[in-house]
Chain A
């Protein structure tokens, strides 16, 4: 979310989910919303039934794309050129919001100059979409009074992920589609509490509430509160930790409720890294592929067995409530951390999660007014919520951006790290499906979800299928420069010829053996959406 932080100053959904149903035009890019964020898709469909128009930019003809007014089946990895082309058309046709640009933004000329140098025909050719389609989309979005852009990991999981996000922000600011209700830029978070984990400072460079560790004022504040001397150097990112290999920087890891063996790119490298640690501690609810490699595995309580809060995509902090006591001998993660901390000589004495939240609210300004008693008696509060009198913030950037003025950051096309060639002729896109969630640790243990979608399928265009002699249900071997897996094919026109799609939910088909470790320079987000593979029938 580095992209939105540099342009708006805050990397979160600017709207509430419910506002989407009042939009007039919705631009969905890099998001298979109806499968990954069903409640957002529900708002999109409601808006359409009320007359709103939908633009979908996605290489695949997803369910959402089939219902869209305009579907631009973009060539993967060419989002920036496509968005730039839209902006150029908006400028050419006088659809830019000049007043907004003047009052609320900076560096417009930087963007304008870049756009004027653009060759529209050439750009369109790059994206694989015809110019007329791009023009129609630009006109629709540019003319709307209330327009929302939703994007997800299809935008960020690229080497140019940050650039993609900046281009989206540019488009929104160019047309003044921010600051208002029912209008904005909405990154949809992949997991239930990604937003919260970021807010809480589970990041190598920031304390809770995005206070940088290398700024002395912030660090001193936390040192005083925690009675400890704190390191000032930003730490290693996830990829740096899990991809160190044999001679990696780490000797010990504590992994709480994550399954990097299945979720991270280049599986072999992750396994090598973990296997070479002197000590690996894992706390989880199931014996995941990662836990199997640990020296110590601690049984954790599930969400139904603990109290606390989650923060959703729209920044709504809401209660998780305990329904039953932890199963067997399992313990909540907070109990585990507190016990461990005590044994390390640092007492963490909290009598309840509510007390932890009180400490958070004192140290994290955006959570300033959030205590359990307030959350208990409401549907949660949306940050920023500065103090106990504040009623939360449904949409961001009213009157001013978090960083003051919104900044246009001109971006240019950056080709993907690996594109199909003669040896590896197919472009593999990875993502999620409706019935499963992440590495399947929870959802694959549900009887009905597994009945509905119990195995990985590789979406393959029927034309490609014919050429390879592959029919639906046949097993194919999929090989990249990094590894190979076997997977059942499903012939469908959802994907274009030459492009294939599959999921990372299933440990039997660890697609991350194939994916590439190339990542976005700023956000460290791996390029899951594009790698080159070779296919053959087994």
Chain B
């Protein structure tokens, strides 16, 4: 007896239909334009759940949206100023088809939003979430989660986890909520046998050999820790940076945000938070105009240091999860893989 189960592929849709009755369902859906995005599914029969391609967005967009309201305020006159928390009910949500990198990213978001202070907006969404993971049998072209050590298969962060074994999924659970789903919908799950577990191991071995990028992340981490990255590297990268902020926005673990007031009428408004990027010069510029960071030379430095040095120092692991979304999207060609290659290969 193992606590692993088998779900026939033919039974996936019926299972999701059952789960959707009690949960908002979010899964990677290929839309009619051909893009695959994690999408809220209204009608299971009208969408194409896409497990072949990487979703271009990560779960960050749902737990920590690009723009969200923290509270609303009103000031009908100078001598009054009221603050109202927003009453938005977050329905219980099931995230289906989450890859190991995105699971690792959610675990990292937990640290950011729940460790120093418990962020109420994040906590509410997170408490209401069930994560159903999917191990990667075929890493995508830009993936390097083998280097960040959170993929292509994972054993933590999910409630339920699927491994594609051809005609069937091997199902594992990591938390009680996952176990509850299995016991509630026992008719969909058969006990897994020895050969299923072997097949999963075989799939893991094969997946490990399919990475197309080789990224020496460990070496970059070591060089940063030992302060061996020359200024010329930062300068070259910063000069290439076109200041779009895209790398931070698309990254599942970049969590910098800004807070501002969105005026909705003369005497009312909302305090909103929006994604921000540490690469912007306004990120550190103070009210008087003084800026403690020289963007021209060091604009990009803090982002890579944060991911590969400071978070390693604090949590013992880098906060890059190797999803590869930022690879090849940089306007100036200065993504994290280029940085790692520049530090590790070019001067050795």
A and B interact physically: yes
Query: Is A34 among interface residues, defined by CB-CB distance under 8 A?
Result: yes
A92 contacts partner chain B, Cβ-Cβ < 8 Å: no
Cβ of B50 within 8 Å of any chain A Cβ, yes or no, is no
B193-249 residues at the A interface, CB under 8 angstroms: 239-240, 242-244
- How distant is the Cα of A281 from the Cα of B274 in the complex, in angstroms? 37
Most central of B239, B243, B244 by chain A CB within 10 Å: B243
Stretch at the interface among A37-45, A152-160, A422-430: A37-45
Return chain A residues, CB-CB under 8 Å to B22: none
B-side binding surface: helix, strand, loop or mixed? loop
Q: Which of B32, B33, B239, B331 contacts A42 (CB 8 A)?
A: B331
Report whether A38 and B331 are in contact in the complex, using a CB–CB cutoff of 8 Å: yes
Q: B282 and A451: CB pair below 8 A?
A: yes
Question: B333, A46: Cβ atoms under 8 Å?
Answer: yes
The answer to whether B331 touches A448 (Cβ under 8 A) is no
Known: A448-B258, A448-B282, A451-B282. A45 touches B32 (CB 8 A): no
Interface flags, A430-461, vs B, CB<8A=1, else 0: 00001000000000000110011000000000
Whole-angstrom distance between the Cβ of A143 and the nearest chain B Cβ: 25
B289 at the interface (CB under 8 A from A): yes
In the complex, which of the residues B32, B281, B332 has the most CB atoms of chain A within 10 Å of its own CB atom?
Answer: B332
Q: Which residues of B lie under 8 Å from residue A249 when comparing CB positions? A: none
B83 contacts A by Cβ under 8 Å: no
Given the complex of chains A and B, what is the CA–CA distance between A488 and B274 in angstroms? Answer: 29
Instruction: Let me know if B138 is at the binding interface, CB within 8 A.
Output: no
Across the interface, B276 reaches (CB within 8 A) one of A45, A66, A448, namely A448
Count of B residues near A, CB < 8 Å?
18
Contact at A41–B242, with CB atoms within 8 Å?
Answer: yes
* Nearest A residue to B262, CB-CB: A447
Is B280 in contact with chain A by the CB < 8 A criterion?
A: yes
For B242, what are the chain A residues with a Cβ–Cβ distance below 8 Å? 34, 38, 41-42, 63, 434
- Report B-chain residues with C-beta under 8 Å of the C-beta of A448: 258, 274, 276, 280, 282
Chain A, residue nearest B331 (CB)? A42
Cα A463 to Cα B342 in complex, Å, equals 36
Check A67 for interface membership: any CB of B closer than 8 A: yes
- B338 closest partner in A (C-beta): A49
Taken residue by residue from 154 to 176, chain A's Cβ proximity to chain B (1 for < 8 Å, 0 otherwise) reads as 00000000000000000000000
Q: Which of A67, A451, A452 contacts B239 (CB 8 A)?
A: A67
B260 CB-CB contact with A under 8 Å? yes
Give the shortest distance, in Å, between A309 (CB) and chain B (any CB).
Answer: 15
- The answer to whether residues A66 and B243 also contact, given A49-B333, A448-B276, A451-B282 and a CB cut-off of 8 A, is no
Contact A45/B260 with A38-B242, A447-B274 known, Cβ cut-off 8 Å:
no
- Assess whether B244 is in contact with A45, with CB atoms less than 8 Å apart: no
Taken together as a complex, chains A and B put the C-alpha atoms of A447 and B244 apart, in Å, by 15
**Residue in B32, B240, B244, B282 with the greatest tally of chain A CB atoms within 10 Å:** B282
Answer whether A447 and B260 are a contact pair too, CB < 8 Å, given A38-B242, A41-B242.
yes
User: Are A45 and B240 also in contact (CB < 8 A) when A38-B331, A377-B32, A448-B282 are?
Assistant: yes
Residue of B nearest to A451 (CB): B282
Q: B289: which A residues are within 8 A, CB to CB?
A: 473
- Give B296-348 interface residues, CB cut-off 8 Å to A: 331-333
A452 touches B333 (CB 8 A): no
Kindly identify which residue among A34, A66, A452, A473 contacts B331, using a CB–CB cutoff of 8 Å. Answer: A34
A379 contacts B by Cβ under 8 Å: yes
Q: List 26 A-B contacts (CB under 8 A).
A: A34-B242, A38-B242, A38-B331, A39-B331, A41-B242, A41-B331, A42-B331, A42-B332, A45-B240, A45-B331, A45-B332, A46-B333, A66-B239, A67-B239, A67-B240, A379-B33, A434-B242, A447-B258, A447-B260, A448-B258, A448-B274, A448-B276, A451-B258, A451-B282, A452-B280, A452-B282
Report A's interface with B, CB cutoff 8 A: 34, 38-39, 41-42, 45-46, 49, 63, 66-67, 377, 379, 434, 447-448, 451-452, 473
Q: Which B residues are closer than 8 A to A by beta carbons?
A: 32-33, 239-240, 242-244, 258, 260, 274, 276, 280-282, 289, 331-333
**Which 3 residue pairs of A and B lie closest in terms of their CB atoms, listed nearest first?**
A451-B282, A42-B331, A452-B282
